[in-house]
Amino acid sequence: MTLLSVENLRVTFPSDHGPVEVVRGLSFTLGRERLGIVGESGSGKSMTGRAVMGLVAPPGRVTADRLEFEGRDLRSLPEREFRALRGPRMSMVLQDPRYSLNPVIRIGAQIEEALAVHGNLTAKDRRTRMLDALNAVRIDDPERVARLYPHEVSGGMGQRVMIAMMVVLEPALMIADEPTSALDVSVRGQVLDILDDLVKRRGMGLMLISHDLNMVARWCDRILVMYRGEVVEELGAGALHQAQHPYTRGLIASLPRLDETRDRLPVLDRSLL
């Protein structure tokens, strides 16, 4: 079943030298599966996520031939109805919990807020759901963590809190925008595990946005490789070695390996592109 279908998505920002297209004609569909979007900084992958969420701030402009989510046309959706989708139907985990959690609101209250603005649960039910969500991201003592402020928890814990906040409403689509790049290597796998487990168990569609080709290959069913605002290649996760496009091949070649010694890592040769 198709959750999200995007055709010819374009995101444009005005600049002194005329409009700049940061996403240039992107097309893909997403079902209840894990789709990885990889690309270097500035390739438009984050903007794609924000465009789907309807969170590209003016003066940025989003256009598409088709932008459908659960059968609804997002292009013409009034802001009020779009807001009702954000949270309960679609959600997004941001990169760095040090910046993405409000510093002056307790963790529990931030999670409960998602429940409070949608639907009419009682305070008691909200609290139960909040504690369940913290439990689901493998936080052992949710009661204590709920009382803490974001600066009192570690990065890995912060990102788990972020995930709890985004899954508490059980959305159908989850966008994860570089969910682990701000974290220590040691907790990355754990956070991804949790995310993956939740997505699988609740049957969500996942859009994993990252610059880390290996990570995406490991966690996703399908991979879109973006370069300069366009998709240059679409691959099954297992078929990474079959990549045809010189950009993808260049990306793969520039990854260091444990079992080899090289003086110098190959650099992407842009003259081929």
Partner 1 sequence: MPALRFLLTLAVTFLGLLAITFVIGRVVPIDPVLAVVGDRASAETYEQVRAEMGLNDPLPLQFARYVLSVLQGDLGQSVSTGRAVAEDLARVFPATLEMATLGIIIGVALGVPMGVFAAARQGSWVDQVIRVIGLAGYAIPAFWLGLVGLVIFYANLRWVGGPGRIDLFLDGMVPVRTGLLLVDSAIAGDWESFVSAFSHIVLPATILGFFALAYIARMTRSFMLEQLSQEYIVTARVKGVPERLILWRHAFRPIRVQLITVIGLSYAGLLEGSVMIETVFSWPGIGNYLTTALLNADMNAVLGATLVIGAVFVGINKGSDALYRVLDPRART
Residues that bind partner 1 (CB under 8 A): 53, 55, 83-88, 91-92, 94-96, 99-105, 113-114, 117-118, 149, 151-152, 162, 165-166
Give the shortest CB-152-to-partner 1 separation in angstroms: 7
Phi, psi angle pair for 56, to nearest 5°: -85, 115
Give the shortest CB-53-to-partner 1 separation in angstroms: 6
**Cβ atoms of residues 1 and 16 within 8 Å:** no
Closest CA relative to residue 71, chosen from 184, 173, 178, 193: 173
Nearer to partner 1 among residue 12 and residue 110 (C-beta): 110
Give the shortest CB-233-to-partner 1 separation in angstroms: 29
Give the shortest CB-84-to-partner 1 separation in angstroms: 7
Nearer to partner 1 among residue 113 and residue 170 (C-beta): 113
* Residues contacting residue 37 through CB under 8 Å, at least 6 positions apart: 45, 48, 49, 207, 208, 209, 210, 216, 223, 224, 226
Nearer to partner 1 among residue 147 and residue 270 (C-beta): 147
* Residues contacting residue 209 through CB under 8 Å, at least 6 positions apart: 36, 37, 45, 46, 48, 49, 175, 176, 177, 178
Nearer to partner 1 among residue 16 and residue 263 (C-beta): 16
Give the shortest CB-57-to-partner 1 separation in angstroms: 9
